[in-house]
Structure 1
Amino acid sequence: MLWNKWIQFYFHLPIIVRLLLSVCLIMTSFGFIIHILEPIHFPTTFDGIWWAFVTGSTVGYGDYVPLSNIGKIIGIILILAGGGLVTFYMATLSAGTIKHEKSLTEGKISFKGSGHIILIGWNERTKQLIRMMKDKQMKTDIVLIDHSLNKLSYRNNMIHFIHGQPTSDEILSKANIEKAHYIVITADPSLSEDEADRQTILNIIAARGNNPSVHIISEILTEIQQKNALRAGTNAIIRSNDFMSSLIYQALFQKDIQVTDIIAKTLEEQQFCINPIDNNMINQSFYHCTRQFLEDGKSLIGIVREDEIILHPPFSFITDKADQFIFLKAIK
């Protein structure tokens, strides 16, 4: 009964592990046999095992050789049996490595890490985001989920690719969504704006259903769907159309200045932050708070009061204990 369980356990192991165990067992057996047959030339069992591995792998150092006829017959059997098994093991190992890398490139391998960022959708925005994270040498793992890509090289992009629909529980499970810290959902450029927003909302629902605590950032193109995205469970909304319209408006009246370059440079080098007001700044003027922030190397640009964003209020503006500060700080 116990023997049958061991056999079942053995055949449930991966083929690479089974082959390695078989090689070790055969080499150990031949090493023990040659030690018993020729104890003078093979003083210890380890010497016999060393000879078996060297002979079976066809290396043949010649430091240990059998001298008796029976010992030579054992050597012939080892070369025929063990040599073929070692070669088969190495070929299988190489084929398995190539197959794993191919499956990784095609997005078929599950991600096993935690604390990672999941990006949904492969487009220029996600490409730029990945480049920025690499430039800032962020150590966070990135997992990409996309159905339009057939393959994505891990070596060139250093991100884990999962091929499939982001609304599928199976695909989200492959991305290990339960242990993810952030999810970024971008609009599908192949769809119309209304269709892209509906797809984004479905992606939010699927992600929130699989991880109630993950922080979701989603791109919404139309104003009408922003409330629906919040209802679906997103934590933050990126309104890309509004942002681009503002850039175009600024460029209309600043012909000699590359507004987009200035904003891009600002966003690359500095980070927007929102923090609750410090106790020592309650009931103080905005001017006083601005000076305090400058001394800390930060730029205070506004206040959030009762969900209203107040940018650059008058210096005489008095803060309240329920306020939140909006400021810029350098990205390290």
Structure 2
Amino acid sequence: MQTLLQVYFRMPIFFRLLSSVLLLMMFFGISIHILEPEHFPTIFDGIWWAFVTGSTVGYGDYVPLSSSGRLVAILLILAGGGLVTFYMATISAGTIKHERDLSKGLVKYRGKDHIILVGWNERTKQLMEMIVERDMRKQIVLIDHTMNNLPYQKHQLHFVRGSAFEDETLEKANLKQAKYAVVTADPSKKELQADQATILTAVAIKGNNPEITLITEILTKDQIKNASRAGADSIIRSNDFMSTLIFHELFRHKPVKPFELLIQVLADQQFHQFPLPEELDDKTFLQCADYYAVSEQLLIGIMRDEQMLVNPSFSTKLQRGDTLIVLSSLHE
């Protein structure tokens, strides 16, 4: 008996109340069947009457006629009605609390193969919108310590409030079952401080899940090696990227606008890397470009000896070990 009571009180309150309601209705249903077997021929009939009466629905299909039966009905209305009402109120309050905790980032994420975004800023917001608009069917978990609640509601977004370099926060984001993690630079900090925070977060993420694909944003060149040492699989050098774009905007040939052109290309196309097919060994770059053009893909360069050759001479001979850089539609 003591063990059953211990199990009962360790159960969540929803299950405790539900089991209490079931036991109470079964007790009154069996009691009315014993007291008035002619009016309640089966135990199920008695339980049905107990639920209908206790929930104050009152269909009237079964009615106790004896004094003892009516006394049982009075006790059922007093005890059962209050318990059922309390049970429904608890469910409603629990649902509201769960929604409030979701908005505040207090609920643990239970899914897997999701994307973890660290930091709520314009970059992560646009990235999330692109994933949703292109119907990538990826669940996103956002980790941020600056917001008290999430103002941006999307069914694919789960918010976890906290610092991404803390194990408790990463566990709440279910990092060990995540597929990707993206750490963006904190715009509220100076560049060096932002990079240090990014590297610390990268160490924490890779320490908890060495298999995850980690993408980090680094602002200063000196910290690129440290980000690599921390385990980043891909390092986005946003300052280098923006400086190059500004340079092209300064010295562009009208009417071409490099920034708009590149954004449009990246929005609709995707880069791929393929090992050189055997049939293209010792072929020219032009012949390889024609090979991929048949499948509506654009060969733009090659990787050779850890060097990237973009738009090489058409007469350049490809050799075994080269990696081809191909641009193709995002939906292919």
Q: Name the TM tier (shorter chain).
A: over 0.9
Indicate which of 167, 171, 175 corresponds to 1:177. Answer: 175
1 CA distance for matches of 2:247 and 2:160?
Answer: 39
In structure 1, the residue corresponding to 2:39 is in which secondary structure? coil
**One-letter amino acid matched to 2:241:** F
Per the alignment, residue 270 of structure 1 pairs with 269
> Which residue number corresponds to residue 245 of structure 1?
243
User: What is the rounded CA distance, in whole Å, between the counterparts of 1:263 and 1:44 in structure 2?
Assistant: 77
Report Cα offsets for 1:92-150 as digits up to 9, x if no partner: 00001111111111111111111111111110000000000001111111111111111
Mean alpha-carbon deviation: is it higher for 246-255 or for 44-53? 246-255
**Which residue number in structure 2 is paired with residue 149 of structure 1?**
147
The structural deviation recorded for 1:49 is 1.0
Partner of 2:315: 316
Q: 1:287-324 deviations in whole A, cap 9, x for unaligned? A: 11111111112111111111101101111111122111
Could you tell which deviates more after superposition, 145-154 or 11-20? Answer: 145-154
Secondary structure of 1:225 counterpart: helix
Query: Is 1:51 aligned to residue 46 of structure 2?
Result: no
| Worse-matched range after superposition: 123-132 or 151-160 | 151-160
- Displacement of 1:156: 3.8
Structure 2 residue aligned with 1:126 = 124
Shift of 1:260: 2.3
Measure, in 2, the Cα distance between the counterparts of 1:255 and 1:25. 81
Give runs of aligned pairs for residues 1-332 of structure 1, distance below 5 A.
3-153=1-151, 155-156=153-154, 158-252=156-250, 253-254=252-253, 256-332=255-331
Please tell me whether the aligned partners of residues 51 and 64 of structure 1 are also in contact (alpha carbons under 8 angstroms).
Answer: yes
Structure 1 position 280, deviation (Å) = 1.9
Whether contact under 8 Å (1:104, 1:154) holds in the other structure is no
Q: For residues 153 and 79 of structure 1, do their structure 2 counterparts lie closer, same or farther at Cα, with a shift above 3 Å needed?
A: farther
Distance 2:227 2:215 in 1: 10
Residue identity matched to 1:284: K
Q: Secondary structure at the match of 1:82?
A: helix
Unaligned residue ranges in structure 1 (runs of 5+)? none
Residues 315/255 of structure 1: CA separation in 2 closer, same or farther (3 Å cut): closer
Would you say the 8 A contact 1:105–1:154 is kept in 2?
no
- Report the Cα distance in structure 2 between the residues aligned to 1:43 and 1:255, rounded to whole angstroms: 92
Does the Cα contact within 8 Å between 1:154 and 1:161 map onto a contact in 2?
no
Deviation at 1:81, TM superposition (A): 0.2
Instruction: Find the aligned partners of 1:143 and 1:240 in 2 and give their Cα distance.
Output: 23
Quote the Cα distance in structure 1 between the aligned partners of 2:83 and 2:253. Answer: 74
Query: Equivalents in 1 of 2:254, 2:245: separation in Å?
Result: 12
Q: Deviations over 1:216-252 (max 9, x none)?
A: 0000011111111101110001011111112212222
Q: Distance in 2 between matches of 1:48 and 1:105?
A: 44
Question: Per-residue deviation at 1:256?
Answer: 3.5
Q: Distance in 2 between matches of 1:251 and 1:157?
A: 38
Letter aligned with residue 84 of structure 1: G
Q: CA deviation at 1:261?
A: 2.2
Is the Cα–Cα contact under 8 Å of residues 300 and 326 in structure 1 kept in the other structure? yes
Distance change >3 Å, CA 153–CA 82, structure 1 → 2: farther
With structure 2 as the length reference, what TM-score do the two structures score? Answer: 0.96
Distance 2:151 2:74 in 1: 46
More off after superposition, 306-315 vs 37-46: 37-46
Contact 1:56 1:86 (8 Å CA) reproduced: yes
| Corresponding letter in the other structure for 1:297 | E
How far, CA to CA, are the matches of 1:250 and 1:320 in structure 2?
32
Question: What CA RMSD, in Å, does the superposition of the two structures yield over aligned residues?
Answer: 1.3
Give the superposition deviation at 1:158. 3.3
How many angstroms apart in 1 are the aligned matches of 2:327 and 2:176? 32
| Structure 1 counterpart SS, 2:186 | coil
Superposed structure 1 runs of 4+ greater than 6 Å apart: none
Conserved 8 A contact 2:138-2:156: no
**Aligned residue pairs: how many?**
330
